[in-house]
Structure 1
Amino acid sequence: MLPPVISRPREPALFARAPGVEYHRVAPAGVTVVALAAGDRLTVIDVEGLQAAELIAVDEQGLQALASLGLAPNAAATYIPEALQQRAQADRDWQRRLARHQLQPAQLPPGTLLWPAEQPAGSQRTLLAEHPVTVLVAAPGSAEDVNQQQRASELQLIIQRAHPSALWLPPLPEPLAEVVDEFTIHPGTARDYQVQAGQYIQVLDVAGRQCSDFVAFDQRSLDRGREIDLDPTVTRTLNSSAYPGPGLYSRFYDRHMQPMLEVVRDTVGRHDTFALACTARYYESQGYFGHANCSDNLSRVLARHGVEGRPGWPAINFFFNTGVNAEQQLTLDEPWSRPGDYVLLKAMNDLVCASSSCPDDIDPANGWQPTDIHIRIYSAKERFSIAMAHRKTPDAEPVLTRESGFHPGTSALTSHFADYRGWWLPSHFNGFGAIEEYYGCREKVAVMDLSALRKFEVIGPDAEALLNYCLTRDVRKLAVGQVVYSAMCYSHGGMLDDGTLLRLGPDNFRWVCGEDYAGIWLREQAQQLGMKVWIKSASEQIHNIAVQGPLSRELLSQLVWTPGSQPALTELGWFRLLTGRLDDYNGCPLMVTRTGYTGELGYELWCHPQDAMTVWQRLWQLGAPLGLVPLGLQALDMLRIEAGLIFAGYEFCDQTDPYEAGIGFCVPLKSKQDDFIGRSALEQRQAHPQRKLVGLLLEGNETAAHGDCVHAEDQRAQIGVITSATRSPVLQRNIALCRVDAGYAQPGTRLQIGKLDGQQKRIGAEVCGTVFYDPDKSRVRS
């Protein structure tokens, strides 16, 4: 007899649904406040190692309560009061947060240190609360010079509640600002509410994976007896997107194409704008007669506003995970939303709104378990950053889109920003445009914010051995002051990421890449091997700009001062670095690498965020006479494709090896004697290549696009795919990078790029090398 088959999918994103368990994050140099009841257990974890942990405990009378946790005061614990004082003075949200806990920074009792800073990654300590206490936990840290590596890193808090309620739900997250009104909508119900122009609506998924239908009407039109409501079809059309996203093009419109709402924040990124809110007819068709449904619930609560009921409402269904498959059929699955996820909307007009908490328990729409939706209304006087949420791993705390230290400078020149891996970066600049920015880089000098690159400090006696094992390059050959480009692969040979490795000292490295997970991957490998090495995240403390173009050396030689122990900027070789200062001996610390992503002579400047605007302003003062232009993502894409430089998600992914991505040169299998992750798989792949990255020169003026199919001339079968494409200004023709069957990779081979369905329309193309512009790299080496 066979036992029953049981569904037990791995769902790390829903860890917060575990009764009585809470997870909190202490940001680097940050402070987190939590309340503990008697019997609760608090575990503090040093995620990256080498991070001190400071703690203050306060009882209900505001007195020191360290003894309730089995701790004693330590005179060295002075960070929390000073940090909170600075935050409370600069941030009204912190003022409200402290007031809710009845805390005054100047009146906090003495604290303690949980451990010294010299701890391995993953070190932890568990504390048992004997009495109710408010606990403040800090990850102390201060600004480090750009050439230093002892940076503050995050702590993780895990709370195990001793007495969770019978019907357990995660605690509501802290309000984003002062709340005007708030209420909870239970499953199978709906609620109407009114908001004024400029006010904000936060739709919160309390427990995760719960849908909420949303409709809105123009209040003034309703007062005149006209129903002008939010129209999902108009919204999709005007946004040229199937799903709403935050930013300039994230508005919801009515049927007259007038804006009604703007998405300010979205921590999920996937919502339904296709189908109706659930209806009685849907449940009846499934055999569930009389089942509660959102459409009837919305009609019921809107009736008192004079709105005529509808059997099916064309609502925006927040958190509902629907899609359109290859057969143009609507599909659904469990929502992406985690506990506490939300959408924040700004009302453009006075509105009558209604929200539901979906009762659907017969399919995956609500994760098979309908839960609460919570609504908060904030005043029009509040100001919120426009952001989406990004997570390093599914179970990580969300991090909202950030602005780099150079943002005040770039935002003064443009309002066109794109969320690039969790950072706002300019797509193009007002008064310039992609073509002018492109030529500015090719002919003069251009500056671009590249702070979104991830930086990881790798330090310790085993740092070289770890990196040599995790990267394809031979790290042992890397000299101090040298930079090398490398791939980082999984064991099957697929690429995790590419990036540059800087050697700052015998046991000191900095890995610069595009993927947050790279730091976690390095830490996991070090722990498995038992190595004495630390991997410290540094993206928040090091920001960088690229200065690229034929005049970049002339510009930076006026800007960068170097001591006698460092090479002068004019002497800095290709893929080398130096540490210096801005202007003179007393200027802010800088690091300069002779690297870039444009195919031109160029450099990257690295500094602490607090010095970013000083560097930016000085750069423009000296650069204006040389014709300095700003450079956005659109122009950068043209430059890097011409130079044959690859991009994650386009030329490579975890199913693509370095050979297929066109960077086989960074896998020295013959000269590197040491083993590294993916070596055996790459040896087999090199011996039996299946696909190869090539360049294509297109006929005519029609363009190719990422994802277009590629065919042998006059043949039906697809043999390749376009990875990147652009119109080259300098070549005055359309070009593309293409991953193609190895049998069709010879230069001169005639291919065709499929449009429409790939068969009805073909664009002729000829295979060439991947470097279209300056193939011998004479300009970048000059």
Structure 2
Amino acid sequence: MSETVLTSPARPKLFVPGQSSLAPGVERYVLKGGGTAVFELDKGDRVELSPLEGGQGVEIAAFAPGGKSDLEALGLKGRGKPTGIQRALGADSEDAQRVRFGLFRRGLDIGGVKAASVLGPDCVPGDVVSLDVERSVLAVFGAPAEPMIVWEQTPATDILVFILRANPRLLNEAKLPEPIAEPRLDIRINISSAESFEVHEGEYIQIIDVAGRQCSDFLAFNRRALDRGEVLGLDSTTTRSMIGAAYPKPGLYSKFFDRDRNPLVEIVQDTVGRHDTFNLACTTRYYEDMGYFGHPNCTDNFNDALKDYPIGSYKGWPAINFFFNTNVDCHNNIWSDEPWSRPGDYVMMRALTDLVCGTSSCPSDIDASNGWNLTEIHVRVYPKDTSFKRSIGYRMAPDAPLQLTRESGFHPRTSALTRNFGEYRNFWVPHCYSNAGAIDEYWACREGAVIMDLSPLRKMEVLGPDAEQFLQGIITRDVRKLAVGQIYYTPMCYEHGGMVDDGTLFRLAENNFRWIGGDDASLIWLKEQLAKTNYKVNLKTATSELNNVAVQGPKSREILQKIIETPPGRPTMQELGLFRFTIGRIGGVAGIPVLVSRTGYTGELGFEIFCHPKDAPGVWDAVMAAGEPFGIQPFGFDALDMVRIEAGLVFGGHDFDSTTDPLEAGIGFTVPQKKEEDYIGKAAIEKRRANPLRKLVGLEIQGNEKPAHGDPVFVGRAQVGAVTSAMRSPLLKKTLAFARVDVTHSATGTALEIGRLDGLQKRFKATVVPFPFYDPEKKRVKM
């Protein structure tokens, strides 16, 4: 395979109009650690496997067209049963479901063939295994993994898969993703055309962008209303009103309504994240105004496709414009650009009533809306008893492969207590719990104890003989002073001093560390910096192997003392000091292995418990049972935002970003001036320290109205800063906020005003005050 292909993960080609980021005939996939994938391979194809983080083996099985084992077609010899693949196929994951069904629909038995293994525990990033395909086979790949014990550092890691096709498929022959079940309808929408079809209540509708960057308009009409002589179709204005949101950002509404406010469809899965929900399907008028008379358009195509239904024809159709990349700028102008979608991306909907639907492949080849290259759209309709988990697409970086929103190991417990979930860092997390709410949960944290799922935190293992030296040049704290069993709270910064992320660094052993951050940016940054060195360090992402709950509140220690047993030589819950961790088990010497840290994000005495996802329900149950006499409550992100602001704790994306240095973020204590060794951003930070421009301050605000993130802060007519976070404090009976302001107006007692509306018509009077607002001496954390 060409060098361009092999180096594309590290040096991806820039996207240009109408051009793919990969060479023609090259397909790129990621085989997830612990996961499986299946590919149809033809004679002359080449497969290349490369570990993204190293230390991961790959198990391969292959089926000849008749169903017999044929590893020889890949130049491999079978050495035993595919036990790793079989174990991975037992998982409750979408990739496992897809591969299981793919084998089932072909009548293939994975237990009846042999497997071969390549790569392994000694492989490192950049290693490549090449397989030349001698004849057509169906190949199944697995990245076997055993559950990682929480104090080990052996997570399953991902494998990059490139397939170089000997005979690249034409765009209209592009391979579709494997279905997850048998579709009731399987419809190909040809280029520049539209099709109509009927869907029953409860069925699933999948709209697939076959080759990528191709828009598809979607219409839906209430079938029962049509039978009554009423035309009730998707209505964008009603939908915006019902949902309570316009469309200024990526994503889709959860449901779409007709003008009588009847829900027609709900979004179940979206792998793209950028669509249009307020414009018409393209019309004759659009092309005529551009000088293209008689150009095909979606409106005329829909009029023709729906002519057999009592709907009528229109000059313009209000539609959901899937994969159409539009947005609204700050000047209220609508703009569009090339779609975000890639080959095989899709939207999955569930019909909420019987529907008549229309789907198009948009014919616009005169602008960027279809990437300057028209391709096809595919529609699948699945029976209502098919199981699809609600998820949206997520990419760790713009050029990274797609991941779908995940459920943590604690989800079976949290989902039984609330339906109020939101997406956070690619995980579903509860906003608040039924029969309680954020205020109740807030008081439980301040007065008793709470338990909260914090599994979205990003985890990375950093280990090797040069791990300490490597980290010393990355973070602002002095790693050489970090003892085994101790934890640092620290930022890492870019060269200009702006923050990459903040997080905690655990020292598990002399050369073994674990980074826990809030964002993927820190994991990407660590990998990028290691690639510039010759340090002997291994980086392994462990987010999927480590789930964690926070147990916080003045009663938290008493609760955990009842269930956590630690081995001799390890601190007990009573002995565990602030920013220290210990290991232990729940349920005796053969019980659930856990790592417990005395850390938190609430301003209270608190702990975090880390475990493998398979053990998460058992951990939740044990904590809740032990906490029942103390009135423990589950705790959501809405309440967390309240307590962390009171406690003076900053949040990435609100109180800091890549333009903000740690001093401006209010965490100057994490940047010691006495650290002699250089680290990334040190020179810029010290220069900023000597010449500060902005400062994060606390504000007390008159009245009960709460400002929002981004609201401008004024002195007279001059804007001197902006609000970063705000809350109404039940305990302190005040409205409080963080704001980043010019240092000239940052002194305690300074009178400021927060602008609403246009900044002049409505203002909140505010006064600069010290923070933390709650327990400023942090006595409660040190209890």
Which TM-score applies when normalising by structure 1? 0.95
Confirm or deny: 8 A CA contact 2:727 2:735 kept in the other structure. Answer: yes
Counterpart-to-counterpart distance in 1, 2:212 and 2:164: 19
Confirm or deny: 8 A CA contact 1:81 1:106 kept in the other structure. Answer: yes
Counterpart-to-counterpart distance in 2, 1:170 and 1:528: 38
Q: Write the deviation string for residues 549-587 of structure 1: whole angstroms up to 9, x where unpaired.
A: 001111111111011110111010000000001142222
2:438 matched residue in structure 1: 434
2:33 matched residue in structure 1: 28
2:573 matched residue in structure 1: 569
Confirm or deny: 8 A CA contact 2:36 2:95 kept in the other structure. Answer: no
Q: Secondary structure at the residue paired with 2:43?
A: coil
Q: Write the deviation string for residues 436-455 of structure 1: whole angstroms up to 9, x where unpaired.
A: 10000001111101011111
CA drift at 1:53: 2.2
> Counterpart amino acid of 1:40?
D
Counterpart-to-counterpart distance in 2, 1:75 and 1:216: 51
1:40 matched residue in structure 2: 45
* 1:397 aligned to which of 401, 404, 420: 401
Counterpart-to-counterpart distance in 2, 1:492 and 1:696: 28
Over 3 Å counting, the alpha-carbon distance change for 1:703 and 1:89 in structure 2 is closer
CA drift at 1:260: 0.9
Structure 1 runs not aligned, ≥5 long: 1-7
1:755 matched residue in structure 2: 756
| 1:273 partnered with 2:277 | yes
2:104 matched residue in structure 1: 99
Greater CA deviation, 563-572 or 364-373?
364-373
Counterpart-to-counterpart distance in 2, 1:14 and 1:545: 44
Q: Secondary structure at the residue paired with 1:529?
A: coil
Confirm or deny: 8 A CA contact 2:248 2:328 kept in the other structure. Answer: no
> Counterpart amino acid of 1:757?
D
Counterpart-to-counterpart distance in 2, 1:536 and 1:14: 33
Greater CA deviation, 11-20 or 617-626?
11-20
> Counterpart amino acid of 1:682?
I
Counterpart-to-counterpart distance in 2, 1:89 and 1:524: 30
Greater CA deviation, 238-247 or 738-747?
238-247
| 1:700 partnered with 2:700 | no
Identical-residue share of aligned pairs (%): 49
Greater CA deviation, 772-781 or 248-257?
248-257
* 1:121 aligned to which of 101, 118, 125: 125
Counterpart-to-counterpart distance in 1, 2:120 and 2:14: 39
Alignment of 1:183-582 (within 5 A): 183-243=187-247, 250-582=254-586
Over 3 Å counting, the alpha-carbon distance change for 1:42 and 1:100 in structure 2 is farther
Over 3 Å counting, the alpha-carbon distance change for 1:595 and 1:92 in structure 2 is closer
Q: Secondary structure at the residue paired with 1:193?
A: strand
Counterpart-to-counterpart distance in 1, 2:713 and 2:560: 44
| 1:688 partnered with 2:691 | yes
* 2:166 aligned to which of 154, 159, 162: 162
2:4 matched residue in structure 1: none
CA drift at 1:28: 1.1
Counterpart-to-counterpart distance in 1, 2:254 and 2:646: 32
Confirm or deny: 8 A CA contact 1:247 1:387 kept in the other structure. Answer: no
Over 3 Å counting, the alpha-carbon distance change for 1:167 and 1:441 in structure 2 is closer
Counterpart-to-counterpart distance in 1, 2:230 and 2:414: 44
Confirm or deny: 8 A CA contact 2:89 2:97 kept in the other structure. Answer: no
Over 3 Å counting, the alpha-carbon distance change for 1:513 and 1:339 in structure 2 is same
Counterpart-to-counterpart distance in 2, 1:234 and 1:780: 48
Counterpart-to-counterpart distance in 2, 1:349 and 1:624: 43
Q: Secondary structure at the residue paired with 2:185?
A: strand
> Counterpart amino acid of 1:171?
K
Counterpart-to-counterpart distance in 2, 1:554 and 1:360: 66
Over 3 Å counting, the alpha-carbon distance change for 1:569 and 1:640 in structure 2 is same
Counterpart-to-counterpart distance in 1, 2:95 and 2:691: 60
Confirm or deny: 8 A CA contact 1:694 1:768 kept in the other structure. Answer: yes
Counterpart-to-counterpart distance in 2, 1:698 and 1:176: 53
Counterpart-to-counterpart distance in 1, 2:632 and 2:63: 55
Q: Write the deviation string for residues 126-147 of structure 1: whole angstroms up to 9, x where unpaired.
A: 1211222222222121012111
Over 3 Å counting, the alpha-carbon distance change for 1:577 and 1:125 in structure 2 is same
Counterpart-to-counterpart distance in 1, 2:744 and 2:157: 49
2:74 matched residue in structure 1: 69
Over 3 Å counting, the alpha-carbon distance change for 1:401 and 1:134 in structure 2 is same
Over 3 Å counting, the alpha-carbon distance change for 1:454 and 1:13 in structure 2 is farther
Over 3 Å counting, the alpha-carbon distance change for 1:611 and 1:78 in structure 2 is closer
> Counterpart amino acid of 1:719?
V
Q: Secondary structure at the residue paired with 2:685?
A: helix
2:664 matched residue in structure 1: 660
1:60 matched residue in structure 2: 65
| 1:765 partnered with 2:766 | yes
Counterpart-to-counterpart distance in 2, 1:588 and 1:140: 22
2:10 matched residue in structure 1: none
Counterpart-to-counterpart distance in 2, 1:650 and 1:617: 33
> Counterpart amino acid of 1:34?
F
Confirm or deny: 8 A CA contact 2:217 2:322 kept in the other structure. Answer: yes
> Counterpart amino acid of 1:20?
G
Q: Secondary structure at the residue paired with 2:124?
A: coil
CA drift at 1:623: 0.5
* 1:182 aligned to which of 182, 186, 189: 186
Confirm or deny: 8 A CA contact 2:457 2:516 kept in the other structure. Answer: yes
| 1:612 partnered with 2:616 | yes
Q: Write the deviation string for residues 135-193 of structure 1: whole angstroms up to 9, x where unpaired.
A: 22221210121111112111111000011135466421111322111111123211111
Counterpart-to-counterpart distance in 1, 2:151 and 2:62: 36
Structure 2 runs not aligned, ≥5 long: 1-12
Over 3 Å counting, the alpha-carbon distance change for 1:552 and 1:222 in structure 2 is same
Counterpart-to-counterpart distance in 2, 1:594 and 1:699: 36
> Counterpart amino acid of 2:730?
P
Q: Secondary structure at the residue paired with 1:521?
A: helix
> Counterpart amino acid of 1:356?
S
Confirm or deny: 8 A CA contact 1:481 1:504 kept in the other structure. Answer: yes
Q: Write the deviation string for residues 51-82 of structure 1: whole angstroms up to 9, x where unpaired.
A: 12222333334444333333334459752345
| 1:51 partnered with 2:52 | no
Counterpart-to-counterpart distance in 1, 2:494 and 2:635: 34
* 1:642 aligned to which of 635, 639, 646: 646
Q: Write the deviation string for residues 199-247 of structure 1: whole angstroms up to 9, x where unpaired.
A: 1111111122221111111111112221111111100111112249999
Greater CA deviation, 60-69 or 159-168?
60-69
1:672 matched residue in structure 2: 675
1:718 matched residue in structure 2: 719
Over 3 Å counting, the alpha-carbon distance change for 1:557 and 1:249 in structure 2 is farther
Over 3 Å counting, the alpha-carbon distance change for 1:23 and 1:234 in structure 2 is same
Confirm or deny: 8 A CA contact 1:597 1:645 kept in the other structure. Answer: yes
Confirm or deny: 8 A CA contact 1:101 1:134 kept in the other structure. Answer: no
CA drift at 1:249: 6.6
* 1:595 aligned to which of 596, 599, 602: 599
Confirm or deny: 8 A CA contact 2:199 2:357 kept in the other structure. Answer: yes
Q: Secondary structure at the residue paired with 1:606?
A: strand
Q: CA RMSD in A?
A: 2.2
Over 3 Å counting, the alpha-carbon distance change for 1:573 and 1:628 in structure 2 is same
2:3 matched residue in structure 1: none
Confirm or deny: 8 A CA contact 2:59 2:82 kept in the other structure. Answer: yes
